[in-house]
Amino acid sequence: MISKLLVHSWLSFWRSKTLNRSLATTIFTWFMMGLLMLYALGLGVMLPKIISKISPDKDSISVLNGVLIFYWMFELLFRIIFQRNVTVNIQYYLTQRISGYFLAHYMLLKSWANLFLLITVLLFAPFAFGTIVGSYGLAKGWLWLGFLFAVSLFLHHLVIALHQLTKGRSLLPLVLGACILLAAYVNFAGYADFTFITKGLMAVVLVNPLIILVPILLSVALYFYDSRFIVGNLYLDSLPASTKVATEGVSSWISHLNSYGTIGQLMALELRLIWRNRRSRPIIIMSMFMEVYILYALITMSDVSVVAMFLLFATGAVMVNYGQLLFSWESSYFDFLMTRNFSVKTYLTSKFILFFSFSSISLIIVGLILVFIDTSLLYEVAIWYLINCGVFIYLIIGGTMIAPKPLDVNGPVMFNYEGMGVFQFLLVIPFMVIPLVVNLSLDYYLGNYWRILGLVLTGLLGIVMYKSMLANLAKGFSKRKYKILDGFRE
């Protein structure tokens, strides 16, 4: 029986729409997964060196143990956002001669085959068998790694329970994410010390091996809680893919946009699209974190050329990551949009204002942080924000027109390259290359003053001329309209 079910899930993976769009996408997906594994392993191997470089005068084991608190918090956050609901594809089996408990155990055990558990091992095994074994012996090395694995397993089952309870819709990721960032800031700015929690915990674990039973027992308890929950909810209407109640909170706020004419209506539609779909929402949330992270990287980096590559992303990550698939997000109802009573220019204007708002909100957030830390960096980010809005918005809107592919907005988030094509990937390159080239060459040939003046003027000019820019893009769109529609109907 188990082998049959496993064959089914194997087939559903290989024959899925997401994967079978093209061979290139399949290869790319595997490539990215392999790369991620390789990165995790590489980072794991480098870990002792990295730690000794950051804090050379401290014991690297206790430093790593201390940081674990943040690792676990981030793991929890990523799991909440990305972990797939285990009961996702079992509706076919409900009417078959398979017992509910069997299904529940099958789904839960199968869920162990996931990237998070693997990454934990890849990331920490080198450290465990290198540094820990070196100081404490082989048994303690296994113990240390085993404890981390058990905690990961505990988080795994905790998130399954959370998903079942919240039905996947809550503000938890945002709240948790904000808390983590705050805690990390408080910790690393020196106002408080959270690292002593895991530092102490792991020190105790290394002395008392039996403590490893705590996360194991918690995992077992949660496992049985999860399985009981699943068995009790093996009905079509309690499966995750089924009926959900429409949310009110954010929606009522969004509906205010409706009073701003057709453009406002189109923006409200797009915001609802982002908020209510499984694939689009995490992209926005993750991109916001990415912007804050890039900011951190910008502050710590001193190399001018490297800084330049990330300048646009500091206020443009949300715009780029979402905008890459601009028209594809709406592929499922594009026919409808094209028969409705508004002009292409109006439609594109709504996209422009949306991206403009994304970037401006990012600038405000980034600015609030930078104003206390590094004002010269703030000027640089602000200058590139102008270029974002005055140049790159048009590049995104125009670029995504070339070959958009259909996608399922409610599809999975992780390693889902549905809708991605060569053009979508190429679109990102100018965002990294142009600031680099401009900053280096203009600085060299013209000097800093003229570089800043040139960039500011270009950006402002692009923003001021948005009407004629969008009119031109609208012409291009009208020419490509049938091709886009044909592509979406495939």
Partner 1 sequence: MIKINNLRKLYGKTRAVEIRQMHIPTGQSFGLVGNNGAGKTTLFRLILNLIRPTDGEVLIKDKPVALRDEWKAFTGSFLDESFLIGFLTPEEYFNFIAGLQRVSTVDLDSFLNRFEAFFNDEVLGKRKYIRDMSKGNQKKIGLVGAMIGAPELLVLDEPFANLDPSSQIKLKQILLDEQETNKTTMLISSHDLNHVTEVCERIVVLEKGNVVKDISDTSNVLAELEAYFA
Residues that bind partner 1 (CB under 8 A): 242-246, 251, 255, 258, 262, 265, 269, 272-273, 276-277, 332-336, 338-343, 409-410, 482, 485-486, 488-489
The residue among 79 and 278 lying less far from partner 1, judged by its C-beta, is 278
Provide the minimum distance between the beta carbon of 469 and partner 1 in the complex, in angstroms, as a whole number: 20
CB nearer to partner 1: pick between 3 and 252: 252
Counting other chains too, the contacts that 454-459 makes at CB distance below 8 Å and 24 or more residues apart are 455/383, 455/384, 455/386, 455/387, 456/383, 456/386, 458/386, 458/387, 458/390, 458/391, 459/383, 459/385, 459/386, 459/387, 459/388, 459/389, 459/390, 459/391
Cβ neighbours for 165, distance < 8 A, ≥ 6 positions apart: none
CA angle, corner 223, sides to 221 and 228, nearest 5? 95
> Please, how many CA atoms are within 13 Å of residue 480, restricted to the half-sphere of its CB?
19
Q: Which is nearer to partner 1, 311 or 473 (CB)?
A: 473
Tell me the CA distances in angstroms from 343 to 5, 165, 333, 347, one per residue in order. Answer: 50, 44, 16, 6
Toward partner 1, which CB reaches closer, 49 or 479?
Answer: 479
As measured in angstroms, the least distance from the Cβ of 22 to partner 1 is 21
Site of tokens 């009926």: 243
Closest contact distance (angstroms) between CB of 68 and partner 1 is 39
| Least CB distance to partner 1 at residue 252 (A) | 11
Residues 391, 462 contacting (CB under 8 angstroms): yes
Give me the least distance between CB of 444 and partner 1, in Å please. 49
| Both structure tokens of 330 | 């709406």
Nearest to 179 by CA among 167, 166, 194, 198: 194
3-state secondary structure of 300: helix
Q: Which tokens hold the place of 125? A: 């095994």
Min CB(30)–partner 1 separation in Å: 30
Q: Choose between 331 and 388: whose C-beta lies nearer to partner 1.
A: 331
Pick between residue 178 and residue 338 the one whose CB is nearest to partner 1.
Answer: 338
Between CA 160 and CA 293 the distance in angstroms is 27
Closest to partner 1 by CB, 82 vs 488, is 488
State the Cα–Cα distance between residues 292 and 6, nearest whole angstrom: 41
Shortest separation between residue 482's beta carbon and partner 1, angstroms: 4
Least distance in Å: CB of 416 to partner 1?
Answer: 17
Specify the residue, 243 or 468, whose C-beta has the smaller distance to partner 1: 243
Q: Which of 411, 401, 433 is nearest to 325 (CA)?
A: 401
